[in-house]
Amino acid sequence: MPASLSGKWEMISNVNFDDYMIVLGISASLRKIATKLNLKKTIERQGDQFIIKTTSTFRNYTVTFKVGQEFNEFTKGLDNRHLKSLVRWEGNKLICEQTGEKKNRGWTHWIEDDKLHLELFCEGQVCKQVYKNVSKTR
Ligand code: ECB
C-alpha cells in the first residue's frame, strides 16, 4: 500500500499556478484572486472511494472517484469544463488523467518527506504545490 494521502493538508508552496490557469483560460481578475489563496486539501478514503476536497476562503472544489474507474468530472467554479477523468496508482503516485478540450491535462499526488505533493498539468504547463500535514492525528 502506498504512503497514505489521507488527512488534512495546508499549502506551503505553489509554483507556476498562474501559467497553469492561463492555459485553462482563466481571466486575469480571477487569477489575481486565485494566486493569493492559501489552499487546503482534505483527502478521505472510504473503501475504494476517494474524496478530495480543495478549500479556500474564496471557493471550494470537491471530487469523488474510485481508482481505476472513469468518471465524469465538471470543474465547477474552476474552468467549468466537462472532463472524462481516470485515476490510477503508478507506484506510490496517484495519477489522474483528465480527458477533454485541453490536451495532456491531469494531476499527480504523492507523499514525500511527510509532505503532500501535487503537480497540476495542462498543455505543457506544470503547477507544483506542496502541502504540510495539519491533521490532528495521523
Ligand atoms: C478550489 C479553490 C481554487 C479556487 C480558484 C478559483 C478560480 C481559478 C480557476 C481555475 C484554476 C484551476 C485550478 C484551481 C486549483 C486548485 C483546485 C483543485 C485542483 C485539482 O484538480 O485538485 C485535484 C487534486 O488534488 C483534486 O480536485
Percent of the chain with pLDDT over 70: 96
The ipTM, to two decimals, is 0.98
The pLDDT, as a whole number, for residue 58 is 98
Sheet holding 61-66, edge to edge: 61-66, 49-55, 40-46, 7-15, 125-133, 115-122, 106-112, 93-99, 82-90, 71-74
Q: What are phi and psi of 114, to 5 degrees?
A: 65, 10
For ligand 1, atom 27: residue with the closest CA: 63
Residue to mutate (ligand 1; options 120, 121, 125, 128; most atoms within 8 A of CB) = 120
pLDDT at 136: 81
List the one residue out of 19, 24, 18 whose CA is nearest residue 100: 24
